[in-house]
Amino acid sequence: MFDSESFVPFLVFSIPIIAIVGGITVAVVKAIGRQRLVELAQQERIAAIQRGVDPSKLPPLPMDDDDMSVLGLSGPERDRRRAQGLLIGGIVTLSVGIGVGVFLSLVERSENVWAVGIIPGAVGVALLLSAWIVSPKGGSMQ
């Protein structure tokens, strides 16, 4: 089959590397998308001015750092979406932690390598807790 003594160190080092590379990739793609959105809004604004539309009647450029305001969402809708995003992230991360713990306990029974799954599991619990904290009170997250 495979040697678990060489697999576990590979797994331990590959998870942070994948997370760092993935995080950088997401940040670059987000920055490129935001820049493209601003460029399109500027082109639309210039075209409207060339057609003779009063610039004061045009909506402001989407320069806000908050992505939800670019989508035109209201405050409560933005808060609900943020809470749902944290909830989904928490469920996925908690599941990954449980899965890694179960997998490692099946691969190596004599050691406590299953404890590696505690780290993503704890992150998942923290995300679920933050989803509960930021969720809009007095309503459900439907």
HEC profile for the chain? CCCHHHHHHHHHHHHHHHHHHHHHHHHHHHHHHHHHHHHHHHHHHHHHHHCCCCHHHCCCCCCCCCHHHHCCCCHHHHHHHHHHHHHHHHHHHHHHHHHHHHHHHHHCCCCCHHHHHHHHHHHHHHHHHHHHHHCCCCCCCC
pLDDT band at 141 (very low <50, low <70, confident <90, very high): low
Q: Is the pLDDT of residue 66 over 60?
A: no
**pLDDT, mean of residues 32-38:** 89
Residues 35, 39, 73: CA angle, nearest 5 degrees: 70
The Cα 96–Cα 99 span in angstroms is 5
- Lowest-confidence pick of 45-54, 61-70, 113-122: 61-70
Up-side HSE of residue 22: CA atoms within 13 Å toward CB?
Answer: 6
Contact 108, 4 (CB under 8 A): yes
Q: Is the pLDDT of residue 1 over 70?
A: no
Question: What pLDDT is recorded for position 67?
Answer: 56
